[in-house]
Structure 1
Amino acid sequence: MSDENSVITEDRASWLVRSFLTYRLYILGLASLLVFVLVAVGVYRLTAEVRYDEVLAALSATSWSAIALAALFTGLSFLALIFYDSNALDYIGRRKPFPAIAVTAFMAYAVGNTVGFGPLSGGAIRFRAYSRLGLLPGDIARIIAFVTLSFGLGLLSVSALATLAVAPRVAGILGIDALWLRAISVVILVALVTVFYIGRNGHVLSFKGLTLRLPDSRTTSRQFLVSALDIAAAASVLYVLLPDTHVGWPTFLAVYAVAIGFGVLSHVPAGLGVFEAVIMAGLSNAIGIDQLLGSLVLYRLIYYILPLLLATVLLLITETRHFVLRPGVAEAAQLAGKLAPTLIATLSLVLGTMLIFSSVVPTPDSNLDFLSNYLPLPIVEGAHFLSSLLGLLLIVAARGLGQRLDGAWLVALGGACVAFAFAFLKGIAVVEAGLLALFIVALIANARAFDRHSSLLRQALGPSWLAAIGVILATAFVILLFVYRDTEYAHELWWQFEFSEEAPRGLRALLALAIVASALALFSLLRPAHFRTEGATAAELEQAVAITMAQDMADANLVRTGDKRLLFSASGRSFIMYGIHGRSWIAFADPVGVEDEFAELVWQFVGAARAGGGRAAFYQISPALLAACADVGLRAFKLGELAIIDLASFEMKGSRFANLRQSYSRGARDGLAFSVAQPDEVAAILPELRAVSDSWLAHHNAKEKTFSLGAFEEGYVLSQPVAVVRIEDRIVAFATLMVTDTRAEATVDLMRFAPDAPKGTMDFLFASILDYLRGEGYRQFNLGMAPLSGMARREAAPVWDRVGGTLFEHGERFYNFKGLRAFKSKFHPRWEPRYLAVTNGTGAALALMDVTFLIGGGVKGVIAK
């Protein structure tokens, strides 16, 4: 009975794990929304004695000199942020031109600080930009790790130093004993100093096969100064906006650092509400809540929105030919153009949020009095009501803009133009209209960047976007409650229509937003999750084979197996071959055909997968495809390394090839004879080949594989040359060759030998194949991939690489990782990395599991080998 209970418990645990992995993004999104709602309730209660007019008065009381100082400190903070990336590139030894670094870092922080969630984040921008500068995914992951760790450690050190210096003051504000604050600060500082001391000479730490190279003293000192400047300048932005107070700057710095830390940990987009709640809780005893709120609003506008607008203006400047042709900045200008869709998408999200918030706050009475003299009330009411819905439209369009959809561009442009007109009709909102005008100009100037033909309506909103919309609407609801705190609710409010009645106008707008947003959420959550594309037809296979034979990638001949689906480019000159298992749509290797069409073909595939409710993944792709994958929001994870032999220089001479040469000579002495049967000659020896194949499968207790490997099927074996090894006219080993008409590359697929074949037969076979192909004029030979080979396990390597490197070292009981690498190393190839591109780390693990099922022929096939 206990065994049965144990099995049931394990099944439940397994079900919980699978459920969490499947719905993790929705769970995390819901958790972020819940955290925000709890914080919003706290903020609403903290402001119980504050009125909207008092906040406006505090805003008006802020001097222009304070605003100018805040803008100056914002510039200093962003300058320091740029040096985060510059130092990271120096640390990993991959220096790039400073203008390109500055553009990338500035846009990454302008976007990441403002919205701060996955689809539009600093990490995504860095991957897009740095991959175009020639950095590999491992390098980019190390840059992101360096930046993240530097910010965290800098925040810890600065807050600890500030708290230690003014512990009694901070203790009085936070209600914590000063002794405890000092003790915590000392512990943090001692730990940081210890790490600094250990790593003073670039010391390497090792733990269970993993290595971590600590930054040297110069790097650490430089980064500490950069972090201190960043945090101090950012804190000063808010400090100079505060009214005169007895709270000193060091005390404020400690409170500010804590607020930033809580905002980051909350995972709420941009820490919205969380940061404000901590600041108000920490400083409400020293500064009036109305003045704090006014300063916080200005802080958000100056430190978050102003850099985003400046980035947009700089983007428009880089579009001018005069700027692009200036020496030293052309590359940075080109890079800015590549990042334009993400920047414009972020601006669309911000402006949509602005329109929603403006629908729940009152319009100045003077503006309404002016409008009442020229416009009838229905026009003003209609403009106000529709503007809020246009705000939601711009938020939804932001997702498509980030993916460069032409439909999203049209929707955003049309919506922004209508909202621009409504800005004057609903309340003469000049600033709002000006921002919309900037957005419209940016859309028109970068129209050519939105060239992907895909229906915006087919793109369901993911959990991150649904959570972001939920946070925005919840914020609008809290603002509505705050602004009209003194207005008593009555059912009659819903149908009151007067120029002076602002509360009913806001209620109606928020209700409409809630209804439309709920409909969008239901559409996204309840739409059909899966559909399957049709398999390849005979005509499509013939077309794909013709394309394959005219290009250089020998592995593309796997399309001949007929077990993969095909997606052709619009011209029909290129294709992607892929398989579907579970929710994973897995493309095998790079697209085949015309290279100029690859980027668009990648987008077509990702769009088709998303429309079918699946996750797109690219398996065993080369570094050349990484930029195209980054453009569609996919991350790269290293799978291993591909062994390539340069046939033009390959000769079995010298000490390097002594062992291989001995195996070849021994095989010749044992009577092994090599030959190649061309496709029209294979039919005559097919029965012998099948006998060898069957005996090999039986001896290894294996079954035929699919997807990334061929199977012994008559049509497939007959389609390409076959290299055979005979002994006394009996075939004892063979390998099917994959070649193309360009003779640029050749490789093998099926490699099988009889159980009684002499030892070293496979070495003899490969050496003979290489010699034959060299004589036939082929330029290189693809030896296949060594899984998990070349994975980084040191410094700031990503977790994926470190786990892969550990498996490579200690996973021999599961797979012959080292043995396969050692066999390929006999031929002294050059090694090229191969990647899996997918949305995130968990998606990568699930995609790899589905790849295993595809190759093994399903779950039963994997279990039965």
Structure 2
Amino acid sequence: MHKIVLWVKKHSKILKNIFLMAVVVIVFSELLSISKTISIVQLRQSFSEIPFYKIILMAVVGLVAVLPMTGYDFTLNKMLNLKHKRSYILETSWLVNTINNLAGFGGLISIGLRSEFYTKDKEGKEVLGALSKILLFLEAGLSIFSLLSFCLVITGQSSAFVSQYWPWLIGGGLYFPIIYLFTFFKKKGLLGGLAAKYRWELTVTSFFEWLGVVVTFYLIGYLMDLPISLVDVLPLFIASSIIGIVSMIPGALGSFDVMMILGLTNLGVPRASVVIWLLLFRLFYYVIPFLIGILLFFKNLWSQVNTRYSDIPRNLTLEILHKVEVFLMYFSGIMIVLLATIPQGFTEISWLKQLNFFHYHLVAQFPNIILGFSLLIMGRGIAAQVKRAYFPTIFLLVIAIIYTLSFGLSLAAVVVLAVILVMVFFSRSELYREQLVYSWQWMTVDGLIIGALALLYVAIGVYNSPAFPHHRKSHPISFLIFPSEKLWFAGLLAIIVVAMFMLLFLRYLEGKKQKIGVPLDEARVLRILENYGGNIASQLVFLEDKSVYFYNDGTEDTVFFQFATYNNKCVVMGDPTGKAADFNAALRQFIIEADQWCYQPIFYECNSTSVTTLHELGYDFIKMGEEALVELADFSTAGKKMKGTRSVVNKITKAGYTFEVLEPPFDDTLMATLKEISDSWLKGRKEKGFSLGFFSESYLQRGPIAVVRNPEQEIVSFANLMPTYYSKEIGTIDLMRHHSEKAPSGCMDFLFVHLFEYMKEAGFSYFDMGMAPLANVGHSRKSFTQERIANLVYEFGSRFYSFQGLREYKEKYASKWVPRYTLYHRDSWIAYVMIVILLVDNQAVKVSEGKKGR
């Protein structure tokens, strides 16, 4: 015996797998057996004859009847002092008991499954004792009902036919007193030591289990309006159940059914009705609860798999589910509108007929059009993942289902709408955005769909008007013929109503139109710049034409972004500024918060480090050009390459022009002079900001200004130096402006050469001359399509902007070229990304009074 125990322990995993496979085979076989006894034709006929509310009541009672059986598992968990959650016990208990109902074998399968689900970490002897006691009490309730039935028989209240089953009833009735006394007196051993409270709990559980079975069976017959008496049905049902259990046939299938058919037929119930009665009982007490149990099982299994793989399966499934529900909403809306627009087309065009599952009547045209367009509108809210869209969508789908059921139009339509409803309910967590910002991309999609449907409807109205030429033809396009002008006008009115509703609903989804970021807070920005340094674009924040987003590490602000918002895009200028170690966390937080408020960041003119980080966060990128860097240590005007530049600089120097760097603060006279130069350089053009500086006195007061003076000591050209705070790696300038009349030709080269020398003496390694847009973009055959298109712009767009000229000018100074990229979310359309950048980067700036001085 000891060797057998050791062998079982050694091969326990294999034995468990064999047991589970055997259970699957038994259950599958039982389902096949039941399916053979269930006639779809009979079911359909029965459902058509029985009122819908009675069918629902049968299903509810069948489900409620299963609930008492969960008491076994709650008692088992207390007996073994297990710590499983109630939800886990409820779900697994439902599965165990519904499988046991089907598979049977005297409850042995339920014991095996309970061992698998609840007792993996317990000692074998303790588990075996608890499970054995549970097994003893599984039929206690049946025994109690057997005693009650025996009393009905011996008192003569049951019919003579039922009375012949008294031996089975007395046999079954003796079971409970025997096992109760046995467990009461046996204090030790495998079946001994059961506490009194557990005996009562198991007895009550078993009693209510069998009460549920009896009530379910009897109520189904009662709702079928069959001539039955409880005093006859109860003893017959209990006796048949005992015979089925003794036979140990899975689910008592066969013996139970034969006994019930024979008995009920003798009691005057038509045989056909008995078959349907048993069929419905099987369906509502066995099959449907079992299917729910399977769903609970897969839910539990899914939870384990999801936990094991860090929530990835759940997120992926919800994302797919969300996309499917959006597709179904748009598809359903389009089909309903088309059905109201070209109803004849769904009978004459075969492929259109196959796509349609709604089959709505033309009489309901007004509500059809409203329903169809409403589904499209709600689909936008769900597609945009806006929280506010949830309850209106649920309400609309419920109304659509009720409307479809009320007209008895299409079962397939009800199923599809119900599936969408379930998907919306279970994927509610996908609706996380606080508001809708209606992007151009979404406007384009919705405009094409809704606009095309509306135009089609109007075109059909014109086609059907008496003045249209087809009235003079003998063969008009039949599926475009509309029944009446009145019906068409009703549909047009519905479209107008929907258009108004769409505007209201979109306004509702927009909410308060919250924006992210804050206006410039100089103290916070300066604290970051002084503590952690900046980059070549950081100083642009002080132009005050952009919003600022701060990242706080929990103690202090360490990173900031500067950006402009246009439509649903937040165009971030340059790389993050601040503590490099926090860039990754800051980018993630900024993207998440922007997404929460329905904005999509675009990162403009970023370096390769940002590309790597953002690509991992779901961003695609396009190379926007290259930044020209002059290596100051090696710069010289000597040599053949710089001959022209050297000649120009020497000429201007001999003419008496001088270079000087002025330190702030600057007086009003100097500012007035610089303003005159700037206005002369602009020649009436409006200032542009965002990625470029514009003339702002407060901005210019923040750093040194390099100037060129003529022999009369008048300033004719200037450039403001961009403060780099503690970093001396790269120096650069922002505004470089020359007086259109007073500055000599070549003044730009004169200013640059002296700036290089000044920066070199100040300890800088490189001078940044700015970006050459679209330089070295899309030359390779393997380049992205977007970049190859950009290369065409570079090659042939010089008539609008001198891309090549700018590159060639900077190339004579630059010794190093650093690529710059624009990054955008992969869901964005690149065309709209480029349009937004173009609009933001070329938007005219209105210089306010506050920007004229500090």
Compute the TM-score of the two structures, normalised by the length of structure 2: 0.44
Compute the TM-score of the two structures, normalised by the length of structure 1: 0.44
Higher relative CO (Cα under 8 Å, sequence separation at least 6) belongs to: 1
- Higher radius of gyration, 1 or 2: 2
